[in-house]
Amino acid sequence: MSITVADKVALVTGAGRGIGKGIARVLGASGASILVSNRSEAPAQAVAAAIRAAGGEASHVGCDVRREADVRRAVSTAVERYGRLDILVHNAGIYPVATIEKMSEELWNEVIDTNLKSTFFATKAAFEVMKPRGFGRIVVTSSITGPRTAIAGLAHYAASKAGINGFIKVAAIEGGRFGVTVNAIEPGTIATEGVVALGAEYLRRAAAALPIPRLGTVDDCAYAVLFLGSDQAAYITGQTLVVDGGQVLVESPDALQA
C-alpha cells in the first residue's frame, strides 16, 4: 500500500522557501490540493504556480502567522476554495542569532510569537474546522535544537521548539476523540537556501559529522510530513519524528570511527 494524500486538502504555512516549499511540493505531487501560505505573497505565489505547472492543484494566500486573524483567514480560505481542510502543516519559523546577553526582549518576543504562539493560533483555527468533520492531520515543524540539542545564540529558538513539543502532546489529547492527530517533525541540519549560503566548507564539515554523511534535503522532511499527514498514520499522535541523518546520535567526532 502506497502512502498517499490523494484528494486531501492541505494548508502549508511558511511555504515560500526551504522546508515549507519542499513540503508543499511533495504533498502536491502526491495528490493533495495545496494552499501555499507565506508572510510575503510573491514567494507563495511562485510555489503554487510551480505545483500547478507540475500537474498539481495549488493556490496561495498571504499570512503573517504572528497575527491570529491572519491565521484564521488562511484556514477559512482553504475551506472556501477547496471545501474543507484535511491537513495543516504549520512550518513557519525564524531563527535570528543573538546571545542571551545581547538578545532584546523584542527579538525574544518576535521568535516566540512567530514559532510558538503561531502554533497555538494555527492549531486552534484548524481544530474549529477539523473536529466537526471528525478528521484532521496537524503536523508542526519543530527541530532537534531545543528538544535534543543546543546552539549558542539560539536560546529563543530552542525555547520555542521545545515549547512546540510540549504543546502538541496536549493538542493530541484534545484532538484525538475527534479524529484529529497532532504530530511534529524534528529536522536536523537541512540544506535549505539559508544553510547553503553558509558556504561549501561549512557544508562539508556539517556532512562529515553525520552518521549518514550528507545534509538532509527538504524532501527528506517532506516525506516525513507526507507520512504523518496520510491515512496510514491514523494511529500516531502526540509524537515527533526526528529527520536528522543520525545527527543527535553522535557523542563526538570520534564516535563515527569504528
**Residue 2: per-residue pLDDT:** 83
pLDDT in tens, 110-158: 999 999 999 999 999 999 999 999 999 999 999 999 999 999 999 999 9
pTM: 0.97
CA angle 35, 121, 163 (to 5 degrees): 115
CA-based nearest residue to 141, from 161, 122, 124? 161
Instruction: Judge whether residue 73 has pLDDT over 70.
Output: yes
Establish whether 235 is a catalytic residue: no
User: Domain 9-244 in CATH: superfamily?
Assistant: NAD(P)-binding Rossmann-like Domain (3.40.50.720)
Q: DSSP letters along 85-130, please?
A: --EEEE---------TTT--HHHHHHHHIIIIIHHHHHHHHHHHHH
Q: Which residues, in sequence order, are CB contacts of 61 under 8 Å at separation 6+?
A: 35, 36, 37, 41, 44, 73, 74, 77
CA-based nearest residue to 168, from 197, 203, 142, 193? 142
At 253, is the pLDDT very low, low, confident or very high (cuts 50, 70, 90)?
A: confident
At 79, is the pLDDT very low, low, confident or very high (cuts 50, 70, 90)?
A: very high
Residue bearing cell 514567494: 43
Q: How far is Cα of residue 100 from the mean position of the Cα atoms in its chain?
A: 26
Catalytic residue among 157, 202, 223, 235: 157
User: How many CB atoms are located within 10 Å of the residue 42 CB?
Assistant: 11
**Residue 155: per-residue pLDDT:** 98
User: How many CB atoms are located within 10 Å of the residue 110 CB?
Assistant: 15
172 and 181 Cβ atoms separated by less than 8 Å: yes
**Residue 157: per-residue pLDDT:** 98
pLDDT, averaged across the chain: 97
**Residue 1: per-residue pLDDT:** 62
For the chain, domain boundaries: 9-244
At 258, is the pLDDT very low, low, confident or very high (cuts 50, 70, 90)?
A: confident
